[in-house]
């Protein structure tokens, strides 16, 4: 399969590219970043997604597009909502029109299971649950989903939406300060203070990046013209539970500071993954303890590599 990965230099993108190459798929990436070492066997196209620069050439002779690009975070303030819409929503509509013109067959979109549903009426959240996001980030993700559905109905493009819960693991960019497990592991092993919003009782489900990428690859197979499913562990764990697991694995006791909760943080969000298991023939296999261990080991190895580079 000839695959284009939009956002191939990001957290999910780097891991996905590795898995696609292992399975001998053709891989081309599109991103604005050039501050990394290119990998042999991967085609790189650089451009600005917000303007569509070089996007048409990136789509040439591509079967499946992985849409992983997002310039926003769940903590995006309302004052920047217009920029989120202009870059991510309008950029995606431009992408879809270019795909129709290029004759691309399928798009697989990484949506946000943690924000599109909003306040839960019941748990675990399945795909039939109402979608009422309480942050701009979630509204934009949901709007993109709706346009994907619209284009799948009115063009030859098939669209798959995967609502991913809270991914963690290798290649995560710590500088974004996003993602509890990676940020927590990094700060603990580097002797940095830990900042927690709220009292640590917030519950989420966390899924290892390898399981996420397996789901993304499973979505290459036959699906409905428009298909949407949660990608999650299905297991809810509190922030305090994650902290205890990381401290147990590292044997380090850091300084932990609890701050006032943020307005956009939902108290409990756990996603059902039954539909993905049934329709994608996918099942998460890395449990939370194994995943945390792997993350700590990767961060330690990364730190060692940086020290060697400086010498």
C-alpha span between 132 and 117 (Å, rounded):
5
Q: Provide the pLDDT for residue 76.
A: 67
Rounded to 5 degrees, φ, ψ at 24 are 65, 30
C-alpha span between 144 and 149 (Å, rounded):
9
- pLDDT-derived band at 35 (thresholds 50, 70, 90) equals low
> Would you state the structure tokens that stand for residue 275, as one six-digit string?
């539909």
Helices (H), the chain: 11-22, 55-59, 81-84, 90-102, 136-154, 180-189, 209-218, 239-250, 274-280, 288-310
C-alpha span between 40 and 36 (Å, rounded):
13
Helix axes 239-250, 180-189, angle to 10 degrees: 40
Q: Are 99 and 65 in contact (CB under 8 A)?
A: yes
The pLDDT tens digits of the residues spanning 262-306 come to 887 899 999 999 999 999 999 999 999 999 999 999 998 887 656
Q: Are 161 and 145 in contact (CB under 8 A)?
A: yes
The set of residues, in sequence order, having a beta carbon less than 8 Å from that of 139 and lying 6+ positions away, is: 133
Architecture of domain 2-172+207-235+267-285: 3-Layer(aba) Sandwich (3.40)
The pLDDT tens digits of the residues spanning 114-166 come to 899 999 999 999 999 999 999 999 999 999 999 999 999 999 999 999 999 99
Q: Are 110 and 68 in contact (CB under 8 A)?
A: yes
């Amino acid at each position: 399969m000839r695959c284009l990965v939009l956002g191939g230099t990001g957290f999910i993108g780097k891991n996905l590219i590795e898995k696609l190459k292992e399975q001998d798929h053709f891989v081309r990436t599109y991103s604005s970043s050039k501050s990394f070492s290119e990998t042999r066997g991967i085609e790189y196209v650089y451009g600005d997604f917000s303007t569509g620069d070089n996007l048409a050439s990136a789509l040439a002779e591509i079967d499946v597009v992985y849409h992983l690009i997002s310039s926003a975070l769940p903590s995006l303030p309302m004052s920047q909502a217009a920029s989120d819409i202009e870059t991510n929503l309008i950029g995606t509509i431009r992408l879809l029109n270019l795909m129709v013109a290029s004759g691309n067959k399928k798009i697989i979109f990484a949506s946000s299971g943690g924000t599109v549903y909003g306040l839960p009426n019941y748990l675990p959240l399945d795909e039939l649950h109402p979608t009422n996001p309480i942050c701009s980030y979630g509204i934009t993700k949901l709007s993109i989903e709706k346009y994907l559905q619209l284009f799948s109905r009115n063009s030859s493009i098939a669209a798959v939406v995967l609502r991913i819960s809270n991914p963690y693991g290798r290649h995560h960019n710590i500088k974004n300060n996003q993602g509890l497990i990676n940020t927590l592991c990094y700060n603990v092993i580097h002797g940095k203070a830990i900042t927690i919003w709220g009292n640590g009782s917030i519950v989420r489900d966390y899924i290892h990046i390898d399981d996420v990428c397996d789901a993304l690859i499973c979505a290459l197979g036959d699906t409905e013209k428009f298909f949407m499913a949660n990608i999650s562990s299905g297991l809810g764990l509190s922030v305090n539970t994650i902290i205890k697991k990381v401290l147990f694995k590292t044997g380090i006791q850091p300084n932990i500071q609890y701050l006032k909760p943020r307005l956009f943080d939902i108290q409990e969000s756990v996603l059902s993954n039954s539909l993905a298991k049934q329709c994608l023939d996918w099942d998460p296999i890395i449990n939370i303890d194994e995943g945390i261990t792997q993350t700590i080991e990767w961060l330690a190895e990364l730190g060692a590599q940086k020290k060697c580079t400086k010498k």
